[in-house]
């Protein structure tokens, strides 16, 4: 079971996590405008990295 990245619950595949933080009518396209500006006030918490292909060590 996949966990929701926005709330502590099971993922319902609603797609809310794919929406733009600055325009909720737009799907996120990784433009990074949401983190531009004062670095003291914005950031992204990374708690997992997912790879498309298995990585060799």
Q: How far apart are CA 1 and CA 3, in angstroms?
A: 7
The residue with greater pLDDT, 56 or 34, is 34
**pLDDT tens figures, 10-55:** 999 999 999 998 888 999 998 888 877 666 666 677 788 878 776 6
Residue (of 6, 31, 1, 3) closest to 17 by Cα position? 6
């Amino acid at each position: 079971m996949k966990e929701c990245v926005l709330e502590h619950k099971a993922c319902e595949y609603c797609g809310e996590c794919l929406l733009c933080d600055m325009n909720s009518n737009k799907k996120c396209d990784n433009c990074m405008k949401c983190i531009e500006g004062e670095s003291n006030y914005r950031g992204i918490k990374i708690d997992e990295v997912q790879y498309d292909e298995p990585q060799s060590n």
